[in-house]
Amino acid sequence: MGTRNFVFVDGGVTPYNNPAFMSFLMTTVDAYQIGWASGVDKLLLVSIGTGKTARPDEHLAPGGMHLLHHATTLAEALIYAAQTQQDMLCRVFGRCLLGEPIDSEIGDLIGSHGPVSSKLFTYLRYNAETSRQGLEALGLPDVDPTHLQVMDSVDYLDDIRRVGQASGLRQVRPEHFRAFLGHD
């Protein structure tokens, strides 16, 4: 702007890759001076992911976990961990209506009770499984999963759009929004 240069840092490389919980805090904590009321009937958080793919290294052995291995995998692991934690916080403190299982230990937390006696908001988590199997389940066997995993590429926007549309058709339900649109 003007004579100043700025560097853009994508939120995907911060702990707020999923900014839903931070959005809840910003709208309800008095320091931000927005002052929205909380409650499952007053506040709806909708989190839309950019896709996920588990990529286990089947050839990794304990001896392969050296400094170079950690240097090349640490950033992705930290981003995924932070994103997952933000999603879990939303499901624990909010009433989660939709979301894939977080992991095999805690599941999806839909209908779960947490550390607060009353949930603070209603929460929806939309995300697409972008593995080969996930894309086939969406009816998109022609989409190459590796094209969806490049953070800064615009070369595959048509494929990304198709995945979003197919995923949305499977996940988005009008009944999730009715209470907030005045259509009980």
Average pLDDT value for residue range 118-129: 95
Share of the chain above pLDDT 90, in %: 57
Q: What pLDDT band is residue 10 in, cutting at 50, 70 and 90?
A: low
Selected residue with higher pLDDT from 138 and 83: 138
Average pLDDT value for residue range 148-167: 87
Selected residue with higher pLDDT from 77 and 118: 118
pLDDT of residue 137: 95
pLDDT of residue 78: 81
Selected residue with higher pLDDT from 27 and 63: 27
Under 8 Å CB-to-CB from 54, ≥6 apart: which residues? 131
Q: What is the mean pLDDT of the chain?
A: 87
* DSSP output for the chain: -TT-------GGGSTTSS-HHHHHHHHHSGGGS--PPPSTTT-EEEEE---B-----TT--GGG-SHHHHHHHHHHHHHHHHHHHHHHHHHHHSEEEE---SBTTTBT-TT---SSSS-SSEEEEE--B-SHHHHHHTT-TTS-GGGGG-TT--TTHHHHHHHHHHHHHHH--GGGTHHHHT--
Structure tokens that stand for 134 in this block: 């996930």
